[in-house]
Amino acid sequence: MSHLETFPLPLGAHVLKSWRLSSSADLTGLRANLSAALQTLQPYVPGPSDDVVDSMVLVATELATNAIRHGQPPTEVRLLRADDRLILDVADRDHHNAPRLSPERAVGDGGLGLMLARSLSLQVSWYRDGESKHIWAAFNDSGEIPGSGLSSGSV
């Protein structure tokens, strides 16, 4: 297992929305509410493409599931903006244990949420803030799909 890089949130990041989760039963509401919040950003230029919205909802679910399963409650999920980036920040109260990547696990064994987040986002990092541990993922607000070199409108 390897550790995730430690970086604070980008300077100037400001909160657009936040959600507090107490159990995995709250994940369905998180997905619906995050998707709706991201859809309201689309009339603005630039706005997240449908592919970016889908990726962000999936990453938020994975990071929140990890926080609920392995962290200490409550779990807080925040949607932030910093320049041309949308950021998901997921916090729990287990500030003693660093997040760990599990690249050697088989697909069916679980534990690949952080690897998935890294593949769907521009950057995944973490930091400690008081009694909380935060894991954050940044996404391009212009609709660029990470790793593809294509925008979501490209064919």
CATH of the domain at 133: 3.30.565.10
Q: What is the pLDDT of residue 128?
A: 95
Helix (H, G, I), strand (E, B) or coil at 125: strand
Both tokens of 12, joined, read 């100037």
Give residue 97's pLDDT band: very low, low, confident or very high (50, 70, 90). Answer: confident
- Residue 70 identity: H
Domain-embedded: residue 150: no
This prediction's pTM: 0.85
Q: Report which of residues 20 and 39 the model is more confident about.
A: 20
Residue range(s) defining the domain that contains residue 89: 2-140
Domain-embedded: residue 151: no
Q: What is the pLDDT of residue 152?
A: 40
Domain-embedded: residue 154: no
- Residue with the two structure tokens 């009694």: 131
Domain-embedded: residue 59: yes
pLDDT of 48 over the 80 cut? no
Helix (H, G, I), strand (E, B) or coil at 33: helix
Give residue 43's pLDDT band: very low, low, confident or very high (50, 70, 90). Answer: low
Q: What is the pLDDT of residue 105?
A: 63
Number of folded domains that form the chain: 1
129-150 confidence digits (pLDDT tens): 988 999 999 998 865 555 544 4
Helix (H, G, I), strand (E, B) or coil at 132: strand
54-80 confidence digits (pLDDT tens): 999 999 999 999 999 989 999 999 999
98-130 confidence digits (pLDDT tens): 888 776 666 555 567 899 999 999 999 999 998
Both tokens of 131, joined, read 């009694």
